[in-house]
């Protein structure tokens, strides 16, 4: 009890809630998907190193730093870079120039964010460059594009191959949960992020765990890799 109290005194609960929201599997879902791993994800432990950064004077700055170290690099940039490379395009990220990032890190928060609008500074800078309907257009996400893959028979074949995956055989992923989700088109759409993450992890396992220190990436299709 004393340990819990002392730990909570040093925990930024807003950051913990942010991390839980960003996680692909929340605690309740993880208990269903991977009962053997459900007790290994403790947001408070993951965030301990961020608490030592005393130069962060506010939650917003902490959120930005945490996002830059996690979702930005591990998910957003990786996805767009691979999609661009597939079509022989080179991804450019001018707003991630170190000088721009350092400048924004020192900019007062009321200049960077207003309510739910996190782009007020950029919109102000570009207000005399682009039309207003372009600057204030709704955000476009890639969620609809990714979900459209579910209608592809080849992708469905890949999903069904996950039932006999290494993750299932090793007990990391619940066979019962996976079959339950894959059997329903509605559940596939609702839990696409979780399915995609499991597929990515299975691919990673087959390349780097089943084949330690590979000399090169296997020159085979995803279907052949999973078969």
pLDDT in tens, 3-32: 455 555 555 666 666 666 667 777 788 888
53-68 average pLDDT score: 70
Cα–Cα dist 207/200, whole Å: 11
Question: For residue 227, what pLDDT is reported?
Answer: 82
46-69 average pLDDT score: 67
Question: For residue 118, what pLDDT is reported?
Answer: 78
57-67 average pLDDT score: 74
Question: For residue 159, what pLDDT is reported?
Answer: 93
104-111 average pLDDT score: 81
Give 199's pLDDT tier (boundaries 50, 70, 90): very high
**206 close to 225: Cβ distance less than 8 angstroms:** yes
* H runs (alpha helix) in 87-191: 98-105, 109-112, 120-126, 132-135, 143-147, 153-161, 166-169, 175-182, 185-190
Judged by DSSP in three states, 213 sits in: coil
DSSP state of 72: I
Residue 54 has pLDDT above 60, yes or no: no
Q: Evaluate if pTM is beyond 0.85.
A: no
Own/partner long-range contacts of 99-105 (Cβ < 8 Å, ≥24 apart): 101/68, 105/61, 105/64
Residue 202 has pLDDT above 90, yes or no: yes
Give 144's pLDDT tier (boundaries 50, 70, 90): low
Residue 128 has pLDDT above 80, yes or no: yes
Question: For residue 176, what pLDDT is reported?
Answer: 92
Give 55's pLDDT tier (boundaries 50, 70, 90): low
């Amino acid at each position: 009890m004393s340990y819990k109290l002392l730990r909570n005194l040093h925990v930024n609960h807003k950051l913990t809630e942010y991390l839980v929201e960003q996680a692909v599997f929340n605690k309740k879902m993880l208990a269903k998907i991977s009962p053997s791993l459900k007790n290994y994800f403790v947001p408070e432990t993951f965030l301990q190193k961020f608490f030592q950064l005393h130069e962060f004077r506010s939650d917003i700055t902490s959120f930005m730093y945490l996002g830059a170290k996690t979702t930005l690099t591990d998910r957003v940039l990786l996805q767009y870079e691979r999609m661009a490379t597939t079509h022989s395009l080179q991804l450019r990220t001018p707003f991630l120039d170190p000088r721009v990032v350092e400048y924004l890190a020192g900019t007062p928060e009321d200049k960077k964010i207003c309510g739910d609008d996190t782009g007020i500074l950029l919109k102000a800078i570009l207000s005399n460059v682009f039309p207003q309907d372009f600057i204030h257009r709704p955000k476009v996400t890639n969620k609809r594009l990714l979900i459209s893959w579910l209608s592809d028979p080849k992708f469905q074949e890949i999903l069904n191959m996950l039932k006999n995956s290494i993750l299932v055989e090793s007990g990391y992923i619940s066979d019962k949960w996976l079959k339950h989700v894959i059997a329903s088109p509605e559940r596939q759409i609702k839990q696409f992020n979780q399915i995609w993450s499991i597929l990515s992890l299975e691919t990673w396992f087959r390349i780097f765990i089943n084949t330690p220190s590979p000399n090169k990436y296997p020159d085979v299709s995803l279907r052949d890799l999973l078969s």
